[in-house]
Each structure stands twice: as structure tokens, then as C-alpha cells.
Structure 1
Amino acid sequence: MKSQTSAVESEDKFERIGGSSIGGGTFWGLGALLTKTKRFDELLQLASKGQHSSVDMLVKDIYGGSYGYLGLTGDLIASSFGKSATADKEFSKEDMAKSLLHMISNDIGQLACLYAKLHNLSRVYFGGFFIRGHPVTMHTITYSINFFTKGEVQALFLRHEGYLGAIGAFLKGAEEDNPNQYSWGENYAGSSGLMSVSPDMNPMQRARSGTFDMLEMDRLERQLVNLPLLQDPSSYIPDTVDLIEDAQAREYWLYCFEEALDGVVKRAVASQPDIPEAAERAEKFRQKYRHKLQTLRHQPFAYGSLTVRSLLDTREHCLNEFNFPDPYSKIKERENDIALKYYQKAVKSLEELSWEDRQFALVRGVLAGNVFDWGAKAVSEVLESNPEFGFEEAKRRLEERPWLIDSFDQWLERLKGPPHRCALFFVDNSGVDIILGVMPFVRELLSRGTEVVLASNSGPALNDVTNSELQILTERIAAMDPVIESALREDSLTLIQSGSSSPCLDLSRLDKVLAMVVRERQTDLVIIEGMGRAIHTNYYAMLSCESLKMAVIKNSWLADRLGGKLFSVVFKFLPSCVFGHH
């Protein structure tokens, strides 16, 4: 146990990482002798199919049932391999491997408990090649820890446990290379402690039993940091629902992503019409992503955390792996061109309204623009079947007030007060959303004397607008709108990449330049738009300044769960003085 044990200290806690390399060695050595198995993975495979009760002597084998006087259940192991000492018969390799796995895992669990009690710890972290994402091992160790400590100590498992030494060595060397210049992001396409997809689907994969080719990290060129306006960065969790804990939500979303797969494949092929092998690559993408979804159905913890965000990001990473970096590029270009033609007319009609009516129309415009989301099945089907589906029709689809979550009256009252110094606006989709929804809203803020920072994706995801695309779009709008032109010239309208390439938003991993600008401009309003950024993530995010979250729910199941219906509206304004539950 000590061979891979290291201590981690902080101001008020001392925790120990319990390694299990000795357990792995013992399991492998004895297992090879007992089963004549040549490979470690084969031994684990045998154990997963075995019944330990055929080999182990249980409490009920001795007492005929449970032993209530000592609080021992009938199924508890009284003696590992106990039946092999008394029964004159052959035992299957599978049963012996399972019995051995239980014996070693229980031993590790007991040793860990003794360490935990010695140091008064409530959590033990396990790592090592013996565990590496193997569900039966993790389950047995967890059971052992719970049994020996009566639930007082929690067993936790490191996600890439086989790489601790390598990562430590790398980080030590990286100190000489100024690591503060960049950050790292996990690449879900090839990242797992489990075995990856078969080699015929990915010819680059080495055909061997180990999983050392599984951990993939992308070096990001810029450093990612917390949004300075997070009220408590240490307790911030981006995701609204944990799909490991919520079985009903997990089943729905896995089904939803599998159902949408054909459409994504079709879109990927259509984005590269002149490349003959695009269809073949798209098929490989389909197989790989479907395999990941099926794995997660049976083992939700397989890739660590499981959320709608991680499912979306995994899909983007898999598309990138098979060289489909931006499947929606053609759609975005077409929708941008169409929306730009209506921009001046939209602005003119807003200017003709009274101040109060205009504030409502601007909000309604952002919400209607947010309907144009190719990531939502209900919308993509409408857009696919009716390319002429327009802004006015989207407004008619919106829920009438009172909305599902409706803080519009409070927002209107706030606008009657002094203007905000600076608004940080996390934008969502290309086309109608950014051009006819967001830009008129931004224009109004600028007219009030508020500086605006538009934060958009660094890289493509679905039909979300990227920073490079937004730069071009804003220049085109400035050419026909003096308000936008003057704001760009005077630097009161700034466009900065968020550091994200996801349809969702993690406010603890934002581009360092964006964080710096937020501080310098004394930002006092954060606006988050869209279902991915404001509902799947950040629904409960607490900020130290005023915040506005706007989204249209374009998924029937999610709408139902939140107590609404399709195209229900979330308009959540929170003043800076409110620090309670959102």
C-alpha cells in the first residue's frame, strides 16, 4: 500500500491518496498461478463473470443464515477461498478470479480504513493500475470501506489513476516552460480509464491490453481562469444536473443524444461536399460516439462526471477527431447573410416604439432569436423542413407572459435607474440570434452609456457564433449602423473570446484576457443567453454583481421537468444584493 501513497496538505485538512499497486501485483501474481491466465485484463474479465460465493465461505454457510448477535449478514464473507479447503471439487477460473479480487480489494479497503482512522480522515482517494476504472474492484473497495467504518469514511477513485506518476513528472518539467501561459483541457474523444473502441475503428490505436493511449489532454494556448465575479469560486459547479445521480435524466439524455446522431452525421457529411471520404469518416464518428453513449448507459461513471455538458463536449471532440471541426459552417454563413438583410428594418421598428414597449420588444427579440438553435431537435426539425422559418414566426412560438421564470418587471424597474458601467454578455447562436436578437439589445445598452463586452466561443460548437465570426459580423453591422460603428471605434463595444469551444459554459475556465477586461472595466452586469449556457449550466450560478439569464426551453422533457412546456421562457434577473438560492 505504501508504495504509491502520497500526502496532500492544505491549510485545514490532511488527506491521503491510497495507492493500490501492491494489491495489483498480488492479484496478478496469485491470479496467474490459480487460473493460468497470461494477461491482467483477461484476469479482470474472468473476475467480472465469476461468482465468489462458489469459492468463499459465507456467514450463512456456517450458521445457516445471518448471525444477528454480531450484526453479520448471511452473505458476508467469513473465509476467502474457504470452500476450496473443505470441498473436494474443481472450481471455475471465473469463480476463483472473483474470490481473489474480493479478497485483495477487502484487504486494501481495511488497510485504507486503518490509515484513515490513524489520521482522522473522512475521505480516501484510490489510484493505481489495479483499479483503473474497473467497476467490480471499485464496488468491492467501496463496500469494504463502508463496512469497516460504518459509513464514516468515503472511498473516492481518481479518474486517470494510471497516469499520476507521469503527470507529476510532466508538471515538474513544465515548471521550466512557464506553464502559466496556457491551460489544459481533457479531450473526451479518447479519454477514459476503460478500454477504448476496437482498433479497426481507429487505426492509430495500438493493439494491446494496456490503456496508456487512453488519456488525451489538449494544450490550450491561453490560460483559463475563474470569472472574477463568481461569488464563491470554490463552491461553483457549472452543471445543473448530475446525470450519475439522476437516473431518469441520464436515461432521457442518453436516448436524446443517440436519437440526434443521424442528424449530426448528415450535417457533418454535408459540410464537406467536395471530399469523397467524408461519409466514411462520418460513419466512424457515429460508431465511436454511439459506443461511448452505450458505455455510459451501463457504466455512468466510466468517464468521471456525467452531465449534459460532458455529452455535448464529447460529441464535439469526437467530430474533431474525425476531422469535422465545424459541421455547421455552411448553415451559419447562410443564416448570417439572411439575418443581416433584416437588421436595419428591425432596428428602425424598435426605434419607433415607446421606451417601455421597446425594452419588452428587445427582450422578446433576444428570446425569439434564441429559438434558432440547431442543437435542439424540436427546432432543427422545423428549420430543416422549413428554411423560410423566420424571426416573426419564432416570436409567435414564444410563451406569453407570465413566463415560466419571469423577472421582467424587476428588470424594467432596474433600467429606470442609473446605467450599468459595463455589461458582460455571453452570446449563443449565429444568424438571427446574434444579429436580430442580441445586437439590438446591445445597441440599447450602449445608448444608455453602458460599455459592453461580448464573449463568444473560441472554437466552433453546433451553430454557436465564434469570436472570429463575430468580429466579421460586427464589422458588417457597423457599416450600416452608426451606433455600433461609433462604439467599436471608441472601444465601448469589445469582442473577446471566452476560451470555450462548448455549447455550455464553465465560468471557472474562461480566457485570462476576458477576466482581465472584466476587472478593468468594473463590470456590474453579467448576461448569459441560451439553453446550454443558462439552463444546462449556470442555472444556479451565484455572482457578486447583477445577472440576467435568458433562454427558451426547446426540449419538451426538460420543459416538463421545470414545470413548463415547449418554448417556455426563462428570464431570470438577480440584483447584486441577493445572495440566496437562485
Structure 2
Amino acid sequence: MAESTSYADSIILPTDEIFRNLKNAKWFAMDIGGALAKLAYYSTMPRKRSLITESSEGSGEEIYSVDQKEEMCDHLHFIKFETRYIETCLLFIRENLVGSRESMQGKIIKVTGGGAYRYKDILSNTLGVQVDKEDEMECLIKGCNFLLKNITDEAFLYQKKANVEYKFQTIEAEMIFPYLLVNIGSGVSIFKVQSESVYERIAGTSIGGGTFWGLGSILTKARGFDELLALAERGDHRNIDMLVKDIYGGAYSLLGLPADLIASSFGKAVSSAQDNYSAPSLNFHDADIAKSLLITISNDIGQIATLNAQLHSMKRIYFGGYFIRGHQTTMHTITYAVNYWSKGTIQPLFLRHEGYLGAIGAFLKGAEEEDFDKYSWDEKGSWGENYACSSGLQSPKVMEHPWMKPHSPTFDILELDRFAKPLVSCPVLLDPASYFPDTEDLTQDKVAREYWLQCFEQANGKLVERAIRSQASTPDATQRAARFMEKYLRRLKELHEYPCAYGTLTVRSLLDTREQCMQEFHFADPYLQQKQQDNEKALKLLDMRLEELNAMTWSERHLALVKGLLAGNVFDWGAKYVAALMEAGEGFGFKKALEEIEGRPWLFDDFDQWLDRMRGEAHHCAVIFVDNSGIDVILGVFPFARELLNRGTRVILCANSRPALNDVTYNELTILTKRVAAMSRDIERALQQDQLLVMESGQASPCLDLRYIDFDLSEMMRRHGTDLIVLEGMGRAIHTNLHAVFSCESLKIAMLKNEWLANRLGGKMFSVVFRYEKKRKVVSNSHSSHSH
């Protein structure tokens, strides 16, 4: 079957890496502070998607074809830049991206922050928009709630011991409230948040970011906030702060005061002949002054926040605002203060995107007043961070533009993608709040991190070749592929330096980032043609495979079914070793893969327990998360599913909603199931009677994060009383979910196709993982965390 290579002539690369899709913006919002301005806008962009469609007539390779379907993709964009550039920035937007002032006529922009008043006329006159001013407190809280509910690993604890650690929090939506929000701008405001609509400002202090900047400007030669922070990073506060040991010669044990505790901020700056100590010099270094000033203010804010939390019985405090900006000394000092004054009973939490709270809130205010149908926005949909287009923690984008010279301001970008349907937690997870999908934490494990980053760097060349080949007739395919490689390699370099930049660093997140980078440059499904070819080859072998299984004894058949799953799972174009075997064309097929399966006992071997279970009552409903196209799904999964169906079990086959490597997609699996049904009466009967269902998982990754599955799938699992879940493949059962615990029975099945990982698990290439786990009792719900 030939792949359709007709791509739309309208494929256009982003006009600018910063202001993406601004020409398609539907509405705007801004949060304008004294130092930083944050622009938010919502856009819809057409994107070509390759779909497999059935032909009304035909047979063999002509029974289905590839069509290009245009679908609208919704995006939220947030851009942070220095307020002093707001006029030139707005001019650039108008002249280069929006088109004209007239094109903005009639549009409304929601604005919050002090700049809502100061820059109202500039916004109206430059862009030709109507400006609506929004309450800052309401916007901050709306923005905070939105981030906590929609962004994975948004909140984290900061710990600095031998190494810096970010302890990211997974908080269930129903457990977000109550909390304190401490917003540190020029001054400090403290909000008590009890629900989406119940909140109040309970306290504040005039000693905040403006104090640090103002006093720092007077006491040092620093010329800006960032320069002052950089100065503080090099300083040693002990040269200027008076410590407990400076007074008592050591710790004051009676009061529990450690020797290095600050007894008096700037205390050593006092010089008097009557003092019991002598200051080394009145000529203190600027760096030491800046460090002492930063700690002084951070300590004060931490103590005031803690006292308010204790007064209102709050266990969580979120800190945000311009003052923090991911600065490690600031976070460490605030954390120390909260831990000290609360004796560890209150959690001091920070947000990866704390600078966008007001802009997000202002945007949401505007969205509430707009006609959702008009812009095809359903507020019940789900949002996810686009790792390809967002700046990470500690890795802002620095870019030069002609309209901003001679300066090169720092841009910080956040982009969110919308999913049409809600994504929800898998209903058979034992305790969703404590579920962590990933087997390896690459932030804590330096050896694993270096291996996998290098592995992904080396795999880029092959992926680029595949991407170009998949769009060979498109003139700019080579150029786009080169830009993809450049961007993804740059992202991997960032992750070498800042492993926690985008939250938890795992094999899953590296794969997801790569897929999103591919989509950005319009390579939505590079393996499409390969998948079709693999499916046709496997379909030709299915009759023979089913006949072989029918001729076996009961015990022989069940072992053969499991081996078929394992052998099928070998055929993964994402596995470097296997891809090389398949590309060599040396007859590496299903039978050869069966021969590669090691003799029992396997590396993880629960087959005997599974066989005993299959002698018992049939399962009520089994959900199988399938992996690869071709031999994997056709010769491995379908025969296994047929056995369950013949026992009377309802089977739900789940495939990715969107492409990833050579994984079978929901669209493709729907067509394949009909073709398999034409070859197997058992499959045909089950399909006709709705005993066999095909559903989408809601995901677009070789891995599987069961915190975010398709809403309809979750409802179907509940409705039919799922009592068996099958996770097949390295991505779904090894890289993720190897340690997942379920409230029903589970099978985790994979062949290890990476030698390094196999050795780590105590095996070798093609070692077998076959884990059968009985259902567990449900435990109490509580929020969980994972540290980095």
C-alpha cells in the first residue's frame, strides 16, 4: 500500500520562536508589574493529521488508504519579558505578527497588576484593543489553582543538603484546598485559599522584593535585580551577619540554637569601641552585603508566612512572585525559615511557573466571558505543558531582536496544549495519589541520566532520516528535520545542566519531549508508512498462527500465547538493536523472535501463577494497553485477546490516541480489528456483540502515565467492572508501571530490548519480564511526592 505524500502547501514554520501563532490569537490577557510583563494569548492552529480510512471496495493492500485530515489544535501561550520593553514589544507584535492595528479592533485584552493602570493607554493606542482591568488577587488565585490542577510536577519542595533536591508534589484535584498563597512582589501579600471561590487576603508586609532591590541599589553597585541576585550568589553572609557562635562562642544548647544560626542580620556591620567583638572592616564586599540582604528578607517572609499558616491551621504554603524566580538561595532560605519556625509541620512549596499566576488568572477571567462555542474551547477539556515550546526552570530563553538592541532581554515562555476530552486517573490504580508512573528517576540517578541522555542524542540521526523519508515529496522536509534536530539536541543539553527544568526527568519525559518537538516541525507520524507495511506482513501470517494455536493442548496453548506476546513485542522500531536487525533484511521474523525467548525460569517469571489463575473463573473485563503495530499487535495481542474472549471475558483494546514511533494508534487499531475479525470467527462474533471493544488511551507516548487516560475509557472500565489490566511492552511495563499497584489483577509483559537496561535489571538482551500480580486492597488516599 502506498503512503499518501500530499502535504498541504500551507505548512508554515513559526513566524518567531517567541510569539508563536499570534496571528491566530483569539483573545489576550496581560499581567504588568513594575519589573516584568506577562502576555497571555489563546490560539487555534490547523494541523495535518494522517488517518487510515477504509475503502468501500478492494482487498489486500487496497482495503484501506491514508488520508490527510485537518484538525484544529488549541494552544495557550504565556510570554514573560521586562516591562521596560513593553512599548517596543507591542510595536513589534503589531507590525510583524498581528498585521495591523485595524486587525485588532474590537478585541478585548484583560489586564491585571499595577501596569493595568499605567499602561492602559499604550495598549489601546498601540494594538487598538479595549482594556479591561481585573482584580489582582482574584487573578493570582485563579492562576494558581489552574496550574496545580493542570500541570504535572508544578509544585515542589526545595531541599539543599549535600546536593540540591527538588521534591515534586503530586496532589489530587480534590486535595488542593486549603492552602496559603504568599505572593512576593515589591511587597508581600498573603492569601488564604479555601476553595475556587472562597479566599481572602489575611496579611502582608512591606518588606519584599522592592525592599531587596531598593536597599541593594543603595548598599551595592548592582544596577538591576538580576545583577543583585547574581551578586548574592557569590557572597558569604557570615562575613556581615552576626551568628550565635559570634556571641556565645558556639551553639546555645539550652535554647536549642545552633552555632551557625543568624543572631543578628548585618550585626557585624556595627563598629563600637564598647562592643565585645570587633568587626573585621566596614568595607564589606558587595557580594556579602547582597547575600545578607537576600537572606534577611527571605527569612522575614518565611517567618511571617509560617505564623499566619499556624494561626489559620494551614499545612501548605505556596510561594510565588517576582522575588523568587527559581533562585536557589531565596528558596533555600524561605524553606529553612518555614521548617525552623513550624518544626517541620508545614510544607513550603514553590511553583515552576509562579511568574504566570496573574496572567493565567486574567486570561481565565476573559475566557469566562467569551463564547466558548465561538472559539471551540470547552473548559472541561484537559491541558498539558508543551515541553518543546516552554522554558524550563532555570533555563530561560535569551534572544536578541532588532527592536530591542542594544539590550538582550531574557524571555521566559510557557505553552500549553489542549486535549479535547478530559484526561482522568485510571480507575483501577490502587491509590492514585501515591502513584508514580516512572521506574527510573533520572535526576537522582546520575549514571542512568547520562546513559539515557546520550542514548537519545545518538538516536536523533535515524529519526531525522525517517522523518525526511516520510515526507520525501515535501520541499522543506529536510530543513524542518534539521531544525527539529537542532532544537531537540539543545533541549537535551539543557537537561544535562538542569535535570529538573521540566519537573521529573525520566525516559517517559524524554520521549514525550521528542514527540512534541517532532510535532512542532510538522512531523506528526514519521513511521506511518512503515506501520502499514508491517501490518500487511503480519496479517498474512495470522491464519497460520491461529491454526497452530488451535492444534495445541490447553497448557501448550497458554504458554504459546504468552510467548507470542513476548516475541511480537520484539518488533519495535524504537529499539536500536532490533531496528538494526529488521533493517538488515536477514529474515528476522516472528519465528526467529520466538527462538530468541530464553528458557524458563525467566528473569521475572510468574507464568505458573498465571496458568493456575486461568484454570479458575473467567475474568469479567480485561483491559489491554497495546504497543507496536505489525507482528506485535496482530500475532501477539489478538490471539491472546481471543483466548480471553473465548472464556467469556469482555476485552477492551486500548491504543494511543495520537502517533508515537511505530506504536499502533486508535485509528489504525480500529481498522485492523475489522480486518482480523474477517479472518477469525471468534473475533468477529465478539466484535458484533460488543464483547470486544477498541478504545483510545488519551496518550501519545510509547510510555503510559495512568494519571491521564481518556475519560471515556475510564468510564467504560468502571461500567464493566475491570478486573484485569494488561500492560504490554517496555515503555508501558518497564519504563513506566513496573512498580504500579492496582486494585485488580495485572499482567506486566515485555522483552528487554536494551542491553544496558537489561543488565541493570539483572538480565541480558531479550530477557523476559512476565509479572502477574493479584488485586490489592484499597488503601487510604493521601498526596504523594517524589524527590530529585
Q: TM-score, normalised by structure 1?
A: 0.87
CA distance in 1, matches of 2:175, 2:514: 39
Aligned to 2:184: 20
1:162 to 334, 349, 355: 355
Structure with the greater alpha carbon radius of gyration? 2
Q: Deviation string for 1:24-78 (max 9, x for gaps)? A: 3333333444556555444434444x22348634539947975465766665555
| 1:52 matches 2:240 | no
Q: Deviation string for 1:196-240 (max 9, x for gaps)? A: 445489xxxxx964545x221111111112222233333333223
Aligned to 2:505: 306
Q: Which has the higher strand share?
A: 2
CA distance in 2, matches of 1:133, 1:155: 14
Q: Which moved more, 1:476-485 or 1:399-408?
A: 476-485
8 Å Cα contact 1:55-1:84 kept in structure 2: no
8 Å Cα contact 2:395-2:501 kept in structure 1: no
After superposition, the Cα gap between the structure-2 partners of 1:254 and 1:227, relative to the gap in structure 1 and judged at 3 Å, is: same
8 Å Cα contact 2:399-2:409 kept in structure 1: no
| 1:532 matches 2:716 | no
Count of residue pairs brought into register by the alignment: 571
8 Å Cα contact 1:429-1:465 kept in structure 2: yes
After superposition, the Cα gap between the structure-2 partners of 1:283 and 1:150, relative to the gap in structure 1 and judged at 3 Å, is: farther
Aligned to 1:30: 215
* Deviation for aligned residue 1:165: 2.6
Aligned 1:229-308 pairs, distance under 5 A: 229-308=428-507
Q: Deviation string for 1:378-419 (max 9, x for gaps)? A: 333433445642112222222321122222112112222232
SS in 2 for 1:449: coil
Q: Which moved more, 1:37-46 or 1:347-356?
A: 37-46
| 1:350 matches 2:549 | yes
2:519 to 281, 298, 320: 320
1:406 to 581, 605, 608: 605
CA distance in 2, matches of 1:450, 1:245: 42
2:332 to 122, 139, 158: 139
Residue type at the aligned position of 2:209: G
Q: Deviation string for 1:83-128 (max 9, x for gaps)? A: 6666354735x55444433333233223233334434544432222
8 Å Cα contact 1:197-1:288 kept in structure 2: no
After superposition, the Cα gap between the structure-2 partners of 1:35 and 1:375, relative to the gap in structure 1 and judged at 3 Å, is: farther
| 1:91 matches 2:285 | yes
After superposition, the Cα gap between the structure-2 partners of 1:329 and 1:56, relative to the gap in structure 1 and judged at 3 Å, is: farther
8 Å Cα contact 1:59-1:78 kept in structure 2: yes
Aligned to 1:480: 679
Aligned 1:3-14 pairs, distance under 5 A: 14=178
Aligned 1:392-541 pairs, distance under 5 A: 392-541=591-740
Identity of aligned residues (%): 53
Residue type at the aligned position of 2:334: I
* Deviation for aligned residue 1:147: 4.3
After superposition, the Cα gap between the structure-2 partners of 1:394 and 1:98, relative to the gap in structure 1 and judged at 3 Å, is: farther
Q: Which moved more, 1:289-298 or 1:400-409?
A: 289-298
Q: Which moved more, 1:292-301 or 1:454-463?
A: 292-301
8 Å Cα contact 1:405-1:572 kept in structure 2: yes
8 Å Cα contact 1:398-1:567 kept in structure 2: yes
* Deviation for aligned residue 1:434: 0.8
CA distance in 2, matches of 1:347, 1:302: 49
After superposition, the Cα gap between the structure-2 partners of 1:114 and 1:443, relative to the gap in structure 1 and judged at 3 Å, is: same
* Deviation for aligned residue 1:361: 0.5
CA distance in 2, matches of 1:127, 1:558: 39
CA distance in 1, matches of 2:462, 2:297: 47
CA distance in 1, matches of 2:758, 2:462: 22
* Deviation for aligned residue 1:263: 3.1
Structure 1 vs Structure 2 CA RMSD: 3.4
CA distance in 2, matches of 1:425, 1:327: 25
* Deviation for aligned residue 1:275: 3.1
Q: TM-score, normalised by structure 2?
A: 0.66
CA distance in 2, matches of 1:448, 1:503: 30
Unaligned stretches of 5+ in structure 2? Answer: 1-135, 146-172, 188-207, 271-278, 402-406, 780-788
* Deviation for aligned residue 1:577: 5.8
* Deviation for aligned residue 1:516: 2.2
Q: Which moved more, 1:124-133 or 1:454-463?
A: 124-133
CA distance in 2, matches of 1:142, 1:257: 35
* Deviation for aligned residue 1:188: 1.3
8 Å Cα contact 2:396-2:410 kept in structure 1: no
8 Å Cα contact 1:123-1:154 kept in structure 2: yes
* Deviation for aligned residue 1:552: 1.7
Residue type at the aligned position of 1:467: Y
2:298 to 77, 98, 105: 105
Q: Which moved more, 1:339-348 or 1:77-86?
A: 77-86
After superposition, the Cα gap between the structure-2 partners of 1:120 and 1:378, relative to the gap in structure 1 and judged at 3 Å, is: farther
8 Å Cα contact 1:55-1:80 kept in structure 2: no
Residue type at the aligned position of 1:91: H
8 Å Cα contact 2:252-2:259 kept in structure 1: no
Residue type at the aligned position of 2:295: H
* Deviation for aligned residue 1:291: 2.9
Q: Deviation string for 1:239-294 (max 9, x for gaps)? A: 23333344443343333333333333333333332334333333332333233333
CA distance in 1, matches of 2:500, 2:696: 32
Aligned 1:373-384 pairs, distance under 5 A: 373-384=572-583
Q: Which has the higher helix share?
A: 1
* Deviation for aligned residue 1:438: 0.8
CA distance in 2, matches of 1:274, 1:95: 62
Residue type at the aligned position of 1:59: L
After superposition, the Cα gap between the structure-2 partners of 1:327 and 1:33, relative to the gap in structure 1 and judged at 3 Å, is: farther
* Deviation for aligned residue 1:359: 0.8
SS in 2 for 1:215: strand
8 Å Cα contact 2:387-2:516 kept in structure 1: yes
8 Å Cα contact 2:399-2:410 kept in structure 1: no
After superposition, the Cα gap between the structure-2 partners of 1:36 and 1:565, relative to the gap in structure 1 and judged at 3 Å, is: same
Q: Deviation string for 1:363-390 (max 9, x for gaps)? A: 1111111112233333334334456421
After superposition, the Cα gap between the structure-2 partners of 1:320 and 1:197, relative to the gap in structure 1 and judged at 3 Å, is: farther
Aligned to 2:588: 389
Q: Deviation string for 1:399-444 (max 9, x for gaps)? A: 3211222221121122222322322111011111111111111122
2:318 to 114, 117, 125: 125
Residue type at the aligned position of 1:27: F
Residue type at the aligned position of 2:235: Q
After superposition, the Cα gap between the structure-2 partners of 1:237 and 1:331, relative to the gap in structure 1 and judged at 3 Å, is: same
CA distance in 2, matches of 1:97, 1:149: 27
* Deviation for aligned residue 1:466: 0.7
Unaligned stretches of 5+ in structure 1? Answer: 202-206
After superposition, the Cα gap between the structure-2 partners of 1:236 and 1:170, relative to the gap in structure 1 and judged at 3 Å, is: farther
Aligned to 1:204: none
Residue type at the aligned position of 2:546: V
After superposition, the Cα gap between the structure-2 partners of 1:421 and 1:173, relative to the gap in structure 1 and judged at 3 Å, is: farther
2:384 to 165, 185, 193: 185
